[in-house]
Structure 1
Amino acid sequence: MANTLGVLYEQLAEHYLQQRGLSSVTRNYNTKLGELDLVMRQGEQLVFVEVKYRASNSYGGASAAISYRQQQKLLRTAQLYLQRSKHTGPCRFDVLTISGTEPYQFNWIQNAIQAN
């Protein structure tokens, strides 16, 4: 989400997760492999968060927008992040979907993407 609206939704997602005890590590981590919207920490666990916004739940809503190909791209990008950061603790992949208009509806899906 590189556009202005994308940045807004990433900020909303970051704030939402901070209110639930996560702390920010970085936002919009970009490489040639892809982008990680948010990298956060919950205790010792590093949390990679993919943020998706959809105005409505038509066509499956925001959570249906993460294809297998995109999941693989996220996994490769996260692997590179881990190599560069030298983080050796646990990590997970969450998806935070935002839908509707203000007041927005949030759906936080923990462990949404599994690394095999």
Structure 2
Amino acid sequence: MSTRIDGAAAEDRALAYLLRQGLQFVARNYRTPHRGGGEIDLIMRERDGTLVFVEVRQRTHRAFGGAAGSIGWEKQRRIVFAARHYLLRLKQPPPCRFDVVSMENGALQWMRAAFDAG
């Protein structure tokens, strides 16, 4: 249970930070309906209309690559899968990108365009 609470607190912090940077909130914890799909922690929108799919990662230490390094190809694949599922709901999908907000030892880092859909 504490992992879930810590994850929600990290998402709250990331959301507040992104809002202060001028992004607009769209959705939180978007999940595909089928088992084996993916989840997107935050969906935000830039002022120019770009849809931003955000993965939030928190680690207490940098072992094994730290927070950002913990997003391997399989996790990226699941996030992209969920993003494509989300975009199917829209009449005209806007430009989009995949960002990561990582937190280690209290420091927050926002990595724009951290990975591609391809």
* TM-score, reference length from structure 1: 0.91
Deviant stretches of 4+, over 2 Å = none
Distance 1:86 1:65 in 2: 34
1:45-60 equivalences under 5 Å are: 45-60=50-65
Paired position in structure 1 for 2:11:
10
Tell me the equivalent position of 1:40.
44
In the TM superposition, what whole-angstrom CA distance separates every residue of 1:6-31 from its partner, at most 9, and x where no partner exists? 11100100001111111110110112
Q: How does 1:55-94 map to 2 (within 5 A)?
A: 55-94=60-99
Classify the secondary structure of the residue corresponding to 1:56. Answer: coil
Quick check: 59-68 or 85-94, which moved more?
Answer: 85-94
The worse-fitting range, judged by mean Cα deviation, of 83-92 and 69-78 is 83-92
SS at match of 2:117: coil
Q: TM-score, normalised by structure 2?
A: 0.89
- Deviation of 1:3 after TM superposition, in Å, equals 1.2
CA offsets 1:18-71 (integer angstroms, 9 cap, x no match): 111111101101122111000000021000000000011122110110010111
CA drift of 1:86 comes to 3.3
Listed as ranges, the gaps of 5+ residues in structure 1 are: none
Structure 2: stretches of 5+ with no match in the other structure: none
Matched, 1:20 2:21: yes
Q: Secondary structure at the match of 1:96?
A: strand
Q: How far did residue 87 of structure 1 move?
A: 4.5
User: Deviations for 1:66-115, whole angstroms, at most 9, x for unmatched residues?
Assistant: 01011111111100000023342100000000111xxx201111001112
Distance 1:67 1:20 in 2: 27
Q: Alpha carbons of 1:86 and 1:99: their partners in 2 closer, same or farther (altered >3 Å)?
A: farther
